Amino acid sequence: MRTAGMLLALLLLVGCGPAGSVEEQIKANIDAMEVAAERGERGGFMDYLAEGFSGQSGGMTRDDFARYLFLQINERRRVQARLFPVDVEAQGPNLAVARFNVLLTGGAGLIPDDGQLFSVETEWVLEDGDWLLWRADWQAVSPALRGAG
């Protein structure tokens, strides 16, 4: 019985500790954003963007990005993303940068109609204990692939 009590205490201590390293927290947020996008849950995706978000070197506001995401999700019934490798680097206690490549595919059916590979650099800020996406810039690494159909 004493062992069970010690295990319970250990689990409670682990549960009360930090939610993981900066890298783990940001990777978890990126994973959650990927899942939300693939499910067509625009609100779930946008929850991870800071109010002051800017994209494409300041050419896109948070509202612009919300509209862009809405169009992408509505244009394709099925959106999939494959991220690799995700590299997170802390830039201080409240700032981090994550870089990765993403292969985006989409289409109306089970088989994607189109796809493209992008190189992405993101900047994350710690606000009220949560890491939020502050900036994102992306550029195509490959030409867009379009299906015949």
**Mean pLDDT along residues 92-110:** 89
- Burial of 133 by CB count in 10 Å (0-12 exposed, 13-18 middle, 19+ buried)? buried
pLDDT at 12 over 80: no
**Mean pLDDT along residues 26-49:** 94
CATH number of the domain at 72, please: 3.10.450.50
Do the beta carbons of residue 69 and residue 81 sit within 8 Å?
no
Report the alpha-carbon distance of residue 99 to residue 137 in Å, rounded.
10
pLDDT at 3 over 50: no
The pLDDT score that the predictor gives to residue 19 is: 64
Q: Is 63 part of a structural domain of the chain? A: yes
Question: Which range marks the domain in which residue 41 is found?
Answer: 20-146
Q: How confident is the model at residue 2 (pLDDT cuts 50, 70, 90)?
A: very low
Q: How many CB atoms lie within 10 A of CB 98?
A: 23
Name the residue among 53, 57, 67 with its Cα closest to residue 133.
53
Helix runs in the chain, H state only: 2-16, 22-38, 42-46, 62-75
Q: Is 6 part of a structural domain of the chain? A: no
Q: Is 47 part of a structural domain of the chain? A: yes
Considering its fold, how many domains does the chain have in total?
1
Q: Is 27 part of a structural domain of the chain? A: yes
Going by C-beta distance under 8 Å and a sequence separation of 6 or more, which residues neighbour residue 91?
97
Name the residue among 134, 1, 111 with its Cα closest to residue 65.
134
Report the alpha-carbon distance of residue 74 to residue 69 in Å, rounded.
8
